[in-house]
Amino acid sequence: MTPVERFKKYLAKQNLRMTVERRKVVEEIFSTAEHFTVSDLVQRMQANDSSMGRSTVYRVIPLLLKAGMIFEVSVRGGREEQVYENTSGIRHHAHMTCEVCGEVIEFNDSEIHEIQEKIATRYGYKLKLHIMDLRGICPSCQEQIISREVSAW
């Protein structure tokens, strides 16, 4: 079943309508596995059809969330746009961030995946997105900022 068909079924169940605009949004979202923002979608879609409305995209997003077809991904700060991902396939995000200098280390630990699956199984969940977000202070920033005050923490 294609994403469009899946969404159409979901809409029908809610007594909502499949429109050309909604179809285009879904096709655009599932055309790649990359994450996206509303601006990304609008920009890509307006390249083909300049009349495509921004608010239409904003109105489709919550429906796709409810349908379990996309996820919110980002931890947003300031006035950054929300980032989404489609749910075709399970995504793993495991990273450790230094909150001082912003360094990000990505890692992929099989033990983590095993535990995540174990937990999901325990509760009967079908996992679509795993985020392991470790925040701390990297070695060099520890020296510069904390110096010998570590014991005070």
Q: Which helix (H) or strand (E) holds 70?
A: strand 70-72
Structure tokens, 152: 């005070």
Site for its own copies in 4-43 (CB under 8 A): 6, 10
Position among 16, 59, 68, 81 found at the interface with its own copies (CB under 8 A): 68
Site for DNA in 13-42 (CB under 7 A): 15-22, 37-39
Least distance from C-beta 68 to its own copies, angstroms?
Answer: 5
Which of the choices DNA, its own copies, none does residue 4 contact, using the CB cut-off of 5 to 8 A by kind? none
Sign of CA dihedral 118, 124, 128, 134: negative
Contact 64, 29 (CB under 8 A): yes
The yes or no reply on residue 149 touching its own copies (CB under 8 A) is yes
Contact 63, 16 (CB under 8 A): yes
The yes or no reply on residue 148 touching DNA (CB under 7 A) is no
Site for DNA in 39-68 (CB under 7 A): 39, 51-56, 58-61
What single-letter amino acid sits at 105?
Answer: I
Least distance from C-beta 50 to its own copies, angstroms?
Answer: 27
Site for DNA in 72-111 (CB under 7 A): 77-82
d(CA 118, CA 114): 6
What single-letter amino acid sits at 116?
Answer: Q
